[in-house]
């Protein structure tokens, strides 16, 4: 559920703009916080509401409807959203007809309580109820608060063609699974996003075809746990827990889905996120090795390097099994970059456990990572059975130590690129210079280089001459044969 684009929850949400030509327009301001799945879901919501005549605006003060897609992963994420709601409160004084809706994980977690706790909120809609938005908005326009937080076992929004919001026209998310069944004890996601379900591969392919026709060059297959993608021909019927023999015979797993998409679209770069160590199969690694267009990059959260803590977290693997997977990645995909998520200060974590995490990091030398202090989430198994017993100062100190170590490893990995030539897909102008393009290598490392005659969407061979700890600096030496 993370990725390079896990949009840091402390960052201001981005206003997403949609322009339709519908005459009967009302103005929608929609912003997203949290993980890529939320950003992808907002594109589904925009599509549903475009049909209702909603035209988006970046100007809060003129919005008829404000929707905020929320994140509950850590307490800080929720606090950020509450602060944002205060801002809406201020705007409502200037624009009293404005209605405010909350979507996503916080909506699902708080349900009706949201209406009581935050008076500004008129509408609460959970992640599986977006198709009900047109009805709910009517309720709100008639002056009643509206709530739908029903979770589904089969909603995948596979029939909705997302409106691409705020993008660069080059890279896009394609959602392939929703929900999570893993029940890591720290994680609120199984409660806010419900049971795991996979999307029909045909609708996934149709979406990728559409993106290819529109000129997109890179897709990221998205899911809380992509490796557990499993499609039984026709899907499992409600109430049936087990697949029939026929369903098993026609099943498609994640490695097969990757193979299908990569074969159908040999020029499309393919990424995926997030992988779960316990579910990632060797077949996935072999499929990556087989297809040049599947990127050499795996986001592989480990959370802790201590087998004891992993067990407390209900991660279904040991430190040794994780290391074995890393060794297999290095063997099968020698140029693959790997990133991590780590939590420090999980209940009962000792200095020794913390050292286990540090030594695992030393072993892997991750290209980069996302590190967090443990934040107890109401309703999770950890909250129910374990005391949040690591003092904040200790959590912070351990976090600072792993962040510092990761910084060293980032620099080490980035320096490995020096003097070599890599294919870079141009996504946009560099933030620091309007004379340079910015894009990413297959390994997901950002590279900047002079614009010359190249343009956004080109695959360019870039010679790396210099680097900062996270960015490669180079020069284009010609087009790649992928154009």
Binding partner of residue 319 among ligand SF4, ligand 5AD, none, CB cut-off 5 to 8 Å per kind: none
Pairing of strands 459-467, 252-253: unpaired
**303 contributes a contact to ligand 5AD by CB under 6 A:** yes
228 makes contact with ligand SF4 (CB under 6 A): no
Structure tokens at 13: 């949400």
**β-bridge partners, 473:** 448, 466
The answer to whether the beta carbons of residues 379 and 191 sit under 8 Å apart is yes
> For strand 123-125 and strand 99-103, is the pairing parallel, antiparallel, or unpaired?
parallel
Cβ atoms 193, 322 nearer than 8 A: no
Helices 282-290 and 254-264 cross at an angle (nearest 10°) of: 10
Cα(221)–Cα(275) distance, rounded to whole angstroms?
Answer: 11
The site partner of 224 among ligand SF4, ligand 5AD, none (C-beta below 5 to 8 Å per kind) is ligand SF4
Q: If binding is defined by CB under 6 A, does position 33 make contact with ligand 5AD?
A: no
Q: How far is the CB of 130 from ligand 5AD (least distance, A)?
A: 22
Examine residue 230 and tell whether it contacts ligand SF4 (CB under 6 A): no
- Residue 437 to residue 152: CA distance in whole angstroms: 43
Which distant-in-sequence residues (6+ apart) come within 8 Å of 449 by Cβ?
Answer: 424, 436, 437, 460, 462, 473, 474, 475, 476
Three-class DSSP category at 70:
strand
Q: How many CB atoms lie within 10 A of CB 291?
A: 16
Q: Which does 377 bind (CB under 5 to 8 A by kind): ligand SF4, ligand 5AD, none?
A: ligand 5AD
The reply on whether position 257 binds ligand SF4 by CB under 6 A is no
If the CB atoms of residues 274 and 430 are measured against ligand 5AD, the closer one turns out to be 274
Binder among 74, 199, 315, 319 for ligand 5AD (CB under 6 A): 74
Q: Which one among 18, 28, 63, 73 touches ligand 5AD, defined by CB under 6 A?
A: 73
Cis omega (within 30 of 0) for bond into 70: no
In the complex with ligand SF4, which residue's Cβ is closer, 191 or 454?
Answer: 191
**Subset of residues 267 to 296 that bind ligand SF4, contact rule: CB under 6 A:** 276
Q: Which stretch binds ligand SF4 (CB under 6 A): 101-109, 180-188, 201-209, 415-423?
A: 180-188
71: contact with ligand SF4 by CB under 6 A: no
276 binds, among ligand SF4, ligand 5AD, none (CB under 5 to 8 A by kind): ligand SF4
Backbone angles phi, psi at 274, to 5 degrees: -110, 150
Q: Is 375 in the site for ligand SF4 (CB under 6 A)?
A: no
What track of x and - describes contact with ligand 5AD for positions 346 through 375 (by CB under 6 A)? --------------------------x-xx
Which stretch in 18-26, 187-195, 349-357, 422-430 sits in contact with ligand SF4 by CB under 6 A?
A: 187-195
Does position 341 bind ligand 5AD by CB under 6 A?
A: yes
Residues 328, 194: Cα–Cα separation, whole Å: 32
Q: Does 225 bind ligand SF4 (CB under 6 A)?
A: yes
Q: Rule CB under 6 A: is residue 77 a binding residue for ligand 5AD?
A: no
Per residue in 407-439, is it b (16+ CB within 10 Å) or e — as a string? eebbeebbebbeeeebbbbbbebbeeeeebbbb
Among 3, 133, 165, 189, binds ligand SF4 (CB under 6 A): 189
- Buried-state track 25-40, b at ≥16 Cβ within 10 A, e below 16: bbbbbbbbbbbbbbbb
Dump the DSSP string for 407-455.
HHHHHHHHHTTTT-EEEEEEEEE-SS-TTEEEEEETT--EEEEE-TT--
Asked whether position 278 contacts ligand 5AD by CB under 6 A, the answer is: no
Nearest residue to 229 via CA among 164, 160, 158: 158
Q: Which among ligand 5AD, ligand SF4, none contacts residue 137 (Cβ within 5 to 8 A by kind)?
A: none
Distance, CA of 226 to chain centre: 11
Of 204-243, binders to ligand 5AD (CB under 6 A) are: none
Decide: is 175 part of the binding site for ligand SF4 (CB under 6 A).
no
Q: Select from ligand 5AD, ligand SF4, none the partner in contact with residue 372, using the beta carbon and a kind-dependent cut-off of 5 to 8 Å.
A: ligand 5AD
- Considering the complex, state which of residue 183 and residue 332 has its C-beta at the smaller distance from ligand SF4: 183
Q: What distance lies between CA 325 and its chain's CA centroid?
A: 22
Residue 287 phi, psi (nearest 5): -65, -40
Note whether 1 binds ligand SF4 by CB under 6 A. Answer: yes
Pick from 223, 301, 457, 474 the residue near ligand 5AD by CB under 6 A: 301
- Of 38, 177, 224, 344, the residue at the interface with ligand SF4 (CB under 6 A) is 224
186 interacts with ligand 5AD by CB under 6 A: yes
Nearest by Cα to 202 from 246, 169, 233: 233
Binding site for ligand 5AD (CB under 6 A): 1-2, 73-74, 186-187, 301, 303, 341, 343, 372, 374-375, 377
Q: Which residues bind ligand SF4 (CB under 6 A)?
A: 1, 180, 182-184, 187, 189-190, 224-225, 276
């Amino acid at each position: 559920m993370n990725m390079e684009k896990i949009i840091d929850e402390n960052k201001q949400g981005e206003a997403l703009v949609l322009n339709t030509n519908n005459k009967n327009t009302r103005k929608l301001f929609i912003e997203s916080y949290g993980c890529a799945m939320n950003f992808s879901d907002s594109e589904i919501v925009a599509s549903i509401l475009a049909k209702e005549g909603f035209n988006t605006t970046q100007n809060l003060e003129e919005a008829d409807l404000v929707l905020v897609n929320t994140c509950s992963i850590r307490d800080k994420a929720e606090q950020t959203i509450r602060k944002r709601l205060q801002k809406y409160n201020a705007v409502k004084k200037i624009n009293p007809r404005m209605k405010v809706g909350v979507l996503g994980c916080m909506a699902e977690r708080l349900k009706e309580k949201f209406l009581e706790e935050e008076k500004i909120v008129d509408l609460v809609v959970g992640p599986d109820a977006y198709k009900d938005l047109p009805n709910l908005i009517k309720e709100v326009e008639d002056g009643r608060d509206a709530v739908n937080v029903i979770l589904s076992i089969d909603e995948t929004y596979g029939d909705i063609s997302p409106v691409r919001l705020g993008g660069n026209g080059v890279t896009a998310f394609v959602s392939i699974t929703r929900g999570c069944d893993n029940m890591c004890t720290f994680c609120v996601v199984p409660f806010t996003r419900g049971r795991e379900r996979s999307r029909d591969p045909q609708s996934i392919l149709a979406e990728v075809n559409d993106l290819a026709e529109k000129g997109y060059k890179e897709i990221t297959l998205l899911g809380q746990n992509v490796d557990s993608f499993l499609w039984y021909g026709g899907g499992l019927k409600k109430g049936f827990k087990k697949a029939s023999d026929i369903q098993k015979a026609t099943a498609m797993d994640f490695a097969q889905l990757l193979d299908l998409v990569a074969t159908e679209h040999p020029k499309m770069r393919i990424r995926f996120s997030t992988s779960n160590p316990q579910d990632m199969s060797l077949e996935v690694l072999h499929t990556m090795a087989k297809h040049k267009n599947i990127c050499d990059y795996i986001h592989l959260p480990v959370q802790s390097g201590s087998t004891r803590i992993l067990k407390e977290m209900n991660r279904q693997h040991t430190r040794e099994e994780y290391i074995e997977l890393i060794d297999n990645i290095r063997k099968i995909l020698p140029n693959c970059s790997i990133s991590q998520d780590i939590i420090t200060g999980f209940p009962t974590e000792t200095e020794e456990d913390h050292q286990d995490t540090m030594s695992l990091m030393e072993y892997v030398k991750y290209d980069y990572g996302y590190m967090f202090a443990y934040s107890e989430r109401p309703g999770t198994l950890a909250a129910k059975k374990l005391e949040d017993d690591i003092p904040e100062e200790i959590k912070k100190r351990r976090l600072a130590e792993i962040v510092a170590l990761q910084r060293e490893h980032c620099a080490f990995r980035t320096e490995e690129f020096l003097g070599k030539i890599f294919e870079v897909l141009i996504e946009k102008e560099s933030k620091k210079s309007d004379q340079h393009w910015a894009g990413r290598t297959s390994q997901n490392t950002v590279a900047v280089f002079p614009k010359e005659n190249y343009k956004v969407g080109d695959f360019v061979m870039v010679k790396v001459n210099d680097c900062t700890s996270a960015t490669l600096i180079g020069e284009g030496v010609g087009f790649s044969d992928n154009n």
